Amino acid sequence: MGKLDVQHLKKVFHDNSGDIVAVDDFDVEIEDGEFIVLVGPSGCGKSTTLRCIAGLETPTSGELVLDGEAVTDNKPKARNMAMVFQNYALYPHMTAEENMSFGLKMTTDLPKDEIRKRVHEAAEMMGIDDLLGKKPGDLSGGQQQRVALGRAIVREPEVFLMDEPLSNLDAKLRTTMRTELQKIQQKFDVTTIYVTHDQTEAMTMSDRIAVLNDGELQQIGTPLECYHQPENQFVAGFIGSPSMNFFDVELDTSGETPTLVHDAFSYELDDDVYADIENSGQQFTLGIRPEDIKAVPAGTHNALSPEVEVTEPLGDVTYVYLQIGGKQYTATLEGDIVIEPGRQLTVQFPQDRIHLFDGKTGETLR
Ligand code: ATP
């Protein structure tokens, strides 16, 4: 079992400039076998959260409860958790086999034969049995990371903690290792908390994503919940690549149809959209994902005709960078599209695809 309750976790660092609240009231129940990814911009508190769970940092306040038992004051070794680091943290003078056995030798009184059996089984499963005699210096990055993972697996922990474990690998190997890691996690069904910067890793690997900003949890949900129903503008902008486009707009109800007015365009609202914002003041942020912007014939209702700055054909889709009100926005259009820079493109934001946020708080209204 590996059900982990992280209760009101808080970590404050103190330095010359004062207090730094690295983690503020992180409160999440993680189910047995669940794969949770922590994402957020640099410095948002991902690693500190993970290190507090591992016992490598002492929380300022909060509790950690693993399968009903408080482990907050337990030493790292006594938590039944195994951590995998970005830089693998293998001992350079030991062979892969010795690296994988070391933790078990130090923390358990398992007989030698049993340790050897576990190490060889794990190595075979990860396709590294022929590397067991080699030292880290003779292994590639991907092989070292497999050994580091193997070392975590043989401990049979209740929780895996992984801090950007794939970020030192090249793009192709990262993709391979991503699927391998998922397979391993599913096979062992171990509760996993995984820190990454990488959108694709977060979206594809996790059961749930926890989005952090400035030490605070912004949203926790399945990848598609975070993508389709972001709770605020921060999550909307962070999840999805290329990022959602945002426009500062003001609501004008003086005419027949309620209209959002931007410096460069006006956008008439359907009744059901207006109903979602009519009691929320006048300042809003309109959000539209690049893939939701449509190219339409000139003269279409609610369309605008910005200048194209650059197009980037990727084969299946083309990123079109548009100049609207002096800022650059992105539209992702299907297929190969070539548009001369400087030409106009008529586009529309379909009413059922737009997001609306409170202009002051960033809270999602629609
Ligand atoms: P990154 O993605 O860049 O690794 P992160 O989201 O993992 O960032 P943390 O490393 O957890 O963020 O840092 C959160 C905040 O706490 C940052 O402002 C950081 O400067 C601060 N911090 C982290 N460790 C310490 C420390 N030992 N002493 C003082 N401040 C710290």
CATH code of residue 73: 3.40.50.300
| Structural domain contains residue 365 | no
Provide the pLDDT for residue 36: 97
Q: What is the pLDDT of residue 197?
A: 86
Q: Is residue 342 part of a domain?
A: yes
Q: Give the pLDDT confidence score for residue 168 in this predicted structure.
A: 81
User: Would you tell me the crossing angle of helices 141-154 and 112-125 to the nearest 10 degrees?
Assistant: 130
Number of structural domains in the chain: 2
Q: How far is ligand 1, taken at its centre, from the CA of residue 95, in Å?
A: 33
pLDDT of residue 326: 94
| 215 part of a folded domain | yes
> Would you say residue 73 lies in a domain?
yes
pLDDT of 199 over the 90 cut = no
For residues 251 and 353, membership in a common domain is answered with yes
Give the mean pLDDT of 302-307: 96
* Mean pLDDT rounded to a whole number for the chain: 94
One domain for residues 249 and 151:
no
- Report yes or no on 366 lying in a domain: no
Our separate counts of H helices and E strands in the chain read 9, 20
Last residue of a domain, one of 213, 237, 261: 237
pLDDT bin (cut points 50, 70, 90) of residue 142 is confident
Minimum CA distance residue for ligand 1 atom 10: 47
Residue 178 falls inside a structural domain: yes
Instruction: Pick the atom of ligand 1 nearest to 51's CA.
Output: 11
Q: Are residues 36 and 172 in the same domain?
A: yes
Judge whether 364 lies within some domain. no
- Nearest C-alpha neighbor of 66 from the set 56, 81, 77: 81
- Which among 217, 237, 257 is the end of a domain? 237
- Are 128 and 276 members of one domain? no
Which range marks the domain in which residue 335 is found? Answer: 242-358
* Nearest-CA residue for atom 3 of ligand 1: 42
Neighbour tally for 160: CB within 10 Å: 25
In a domain, 363, yes or no: no
CB within 8 A of 96, min separation 6: which ones?
Answer: 90, 123, 128, 131, 132, 133, 134, 135, 136, 139, 147, 150
106 & 193 share domain: yes
- pLDDT, tens digit, 9 for 90 and up, residues 3-42: 999 999 999 999 888 999 999 999 999 999 999 999 999 9
Task: Compare 223 and 183 and report the one with higher pLDDT.
Answer: 223
Q: Indicate the top mutation candidate among 48, 53, 60 to test ligand 1's pocket, ranked by most ligand atoms within 8 A of CB.
A: 48
The reply to whether 178 and 258 lie within a common domain is no
pLDDT at position 169: 81
237, 270, 286: which is the final residue of a domain?
Answer: 237
Whether the upstream peptide bond of residue 157 has omega within 30° of 0, thus cis, is no
Centre of ligand 1 to C-alpha 60, Å, is: 15
Please tell me which of 119-128, 160-169, 339-348 the model is most confident about, judged by mean pLDDT. 339-348
CATH of the domain at 248: 2.40.50.140
Q: 184 and 146 share a domain?
A: yes
Average pLDDT over residues 44-63: 97
* Six-digit token string for 38: 């922590």
pLDDT at residue number 53: 97
Atom of ligand 1 nearest to the CA of 197: 2
**Which amino acid, one-letter code, is at 93?**
H
Predicted pLDDT at 189: 87
Spatial neighbors of 36 by CB under 8 A, at least 6 apart, are 28, 30, 192, 193, 194, 206, 207, 208, 209, 210, 220
* In a shared domain, residues 231 and 331: no
Tell whether the model's pLDDT for residue 174 goes beyond 90: no
pLDDT of residue 206: 94
Q: What is the mean pLDDT of residues 218-244?
A: 96
Distance from the alpha carbon of residue 226 to the mean position of ligand 1, in angstroms: 24
ipTM over 0.85: yes
Give the binding-site residues of ligand 1, using a 6 Å CB cut-off. Answer: 13, 15, 20, 22, 40, 42-48, 197
Among protein residues, the one whose CA lies closest to atom 21 of ligand 1? 22
| Out of 100-104, 242-246, 283-287, least confident range | 100-104
Q: Do 311 and 203 belong together in one domain? A: no
Rounded to an integer, what distance in angstroms lies between the CA atom of residue 28 and that of residue 43? 20
227 and 336 share one domain: no
DSSP 264-306: S-EEEPPHHHHHHHTTS-SEEEEEE-GGG-EE--TT-TT-B-P
- Give yes or no: residues 225 and 337 share one domain: no
Asked if pLDDT for residue 87 goes beyond 90, the answer is no
**Same domain assignment for residues 71 and 196:** yes
Average pLDDT over residues 42-47: 95
pTM: 0.92
The C-alpha angle 6, 12, 13, rounded to 5 degrees, equals: 130
**311 and 328 in contact (C-beta within 8 Å)?**
no
CA–CA separation, 151 vs 89, rounded Å?
11
Mean local confidence (pLDDT), 308-321: 95
In percent, the amount of the chain with pLDDT more than 90 equals 79
